[in-house]
Amino acid sequence: MMQSAGRKFLYGDAALAKIPSPRLEIKRVPCLKDNYGWILRCPKTGTIGLVDTPEAGPLLRELKANYDGRVDFILNTHHHWDHTGGNKEIKAATHCKIIGPGRDGQIDGLDKAIEGGDEFKFGDLTVKVYDLPGHTRGHVGYHFPEANAFFCGDTLFVLGCGRMFEGTKGQFWSTLQKIRGLPKDTVVFCAHEYSQSNAKFARYVDPTNECLKTASDVITEMRGRGEATVPSMLADELLCNPFLRVDDEAIQERAAELTNTQAHDLNRRPRKGMEPAKYAIPDAEPRVRQKPKPRGDGTRLENPRLIKGAD
């Protein structure tokens, strides 16, 4: 059993404060219902970038208010509409360049295609590209090693992970192992505020984990105050996130005699009180994620073709 006595779990602004100053400035921008877009600025060169564009409005307003309306690059993690929905409008307004995975073939306005193993400069900072197949086939992550920052899109969440729309179970497990190999002091930036529901499921599959219980309590308190819980620390995820621990003895015992990929298959977070078994990923053909049709009042509907609660 893990012990949490004396350990302080860092989420949201507390984790963001662990980014070495003045290497990289990062601003969280809430978008849509539960998405986050990220504004990056290199203090040394003034280079400004966005990681994913769930929608244009909030990002353009923040850019106008605090960044002279300027942005140099958009870094897309994958092609889903709630990560690229603002690409065209922001590019038209700012003439920025869009960087993203060429393998997806569906990034709006893509100027530079990248893949795992590539490196490029963001101001004076090196960016290393990681292939993260699973949620989509072409999903990538952006690692800023000098700033201890990793932007993982919908691959890993606080105490959870993304749904497998296009990849395979083996690919997703391999992807999660890549993330486990990053330095433990890495600050992990995901794209959705799912922490509270993830925590409930994590405690279902890992009920004896005292670290997880403490982390869950911290998250519940933060969300009760309306605070964001993203980003998080990789060190905390390694202790508490069941998707990074499916080969751990406690998780294996909970999942009986399943293999790593089967345990990953079992450990789907429930939404709205549904039992975990109903969230197991079937062996089926990949699904194409469709953009929901808007309501008349501008809010978005769940697409009935998708798995309920999909990321």
* φ, ψ for residue 301, nearest 5 deg: -95, 150
Catalytic residue among 72, 104, 108, 135: 135
> Does residue 283 carry a catalytic annotation?
no
Catalytic residue among 82, 104, 108, 265: 82
DSSP 174-187: HHHHHHHTS-TTPE
How buried is 121 (Cβ within 10 angstroms: 0-12 exposed, 13-18 middle, 19+ buried)? Answer: exposed
Radius of gyration of the chain (CA): 19
Q: What share of the chain is helix, strand, coil (3-state, %, to 5)?
A: 30, 20, 50
Catalytic residue among 79, 139, 143, 192: 192
Catalytic residue among 52, 72, 80, 131: 80
Instruction: Find out whether 47 and 73 touch, Cβ atoms under 8 Å.
Output: yes
* φ, ψ for residue 41, nearest 5 deg: -140, 130
> Does residue 143 carry a catalytic annotation?
no
Q: Which residues contact 230 (CB under 8 A, 6 or more apart)?
A: 11, 12, 28, 36, 158, 189, 190, 192, 193, 195
> Does residue 192 carry a catalytic annotation?
yes
Catalytic residue among 83, 139, 143, 264: 83
> Does residue 82 carry a catalytic annotation?
yes
CA-wise closest residue to 253 among 201, 200, 208, 197: 208
> Does residue 80 carry a catalytic annotation?
yes
| Cis bond upstream, residue 183 (ω within 30) | no
* φ, ψ for residue 84, nearest 5 deg: -125, 0
Count CB-CB contacts under 10 A for residue 274: 14
How buried is 301 (Cβ within 10 angstroms: 0-12 exposed, 13-18 middle, 19+ buried)? Answer: exposed
Handedness of CA 20, 144, 153, 81 (dihedral sign): positive
Largest CA distance in the chain: 57
User: Active-site residues: which are they?
Assistant: 78, 80, 82-83, 135, 154, 192
